[in-house]
């Protein structure tokens, strides 16, 4: 996977995340994932295996109830995860509404 492929996928990914509520819940899920990883490092290392899935508690319901579509992670979970973090950082930097 190269930068051009990631950029192309990210543009498509954003079309599945057009509503502010969806984007905000994805960002909350990312922050929750980081906090969960920190908790695991101090309390339960084996629980780190679940860390890639923490975001889905927030992200998937936002797709079903706010966006009205299916999560991108079903088709390409790795590129979706990368795009999700990129979307959050673009939101922080003001590149997305």
Question: Can you give the residue ranges of every domain in the chain?
Answer: 19-92
List CB contacts of 49: < 8 A, sequence separation 6 or more.
Answer: none
Q: Which pair of tokens denotes residue 75? A: 């088709």
In 16-84, beta strands by DSSP E: none
Q: What pTM does this model have?
A: 0.87
Query: What does the pLDDT look like over 40-91, one tens digit per residue?
Result: 999 999 999 999 999 999 999 999 999 999 887 778 889 999 999 999 999 9
Q: Which pair of tokens denotes residue 84? A: 């999700």
Cβ atoms of 16 and 63 closer than 8 Å: yes
């Amino acid at each position: 996977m190269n930068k051009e492929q990631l950029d192309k996928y990210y543009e498509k990914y954003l079309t599945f995340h057009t509503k502010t509520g969806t984007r905000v819940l994805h960002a909350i899920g990312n922050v929750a994932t980081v906090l969960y990883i920190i908790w695991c490092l101090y309390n339960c290392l084996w629980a780190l295996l679940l860390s890639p899935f923490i975001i889905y508690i927030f992200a998937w319901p936002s797709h079903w109830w706010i966006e009205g579509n299916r999560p991108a992670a079903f088709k390409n979970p790795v590129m979706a995860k990368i795009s999700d973090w990129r979307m959050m950082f673009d939101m922080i930097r003001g590149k997305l509404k």
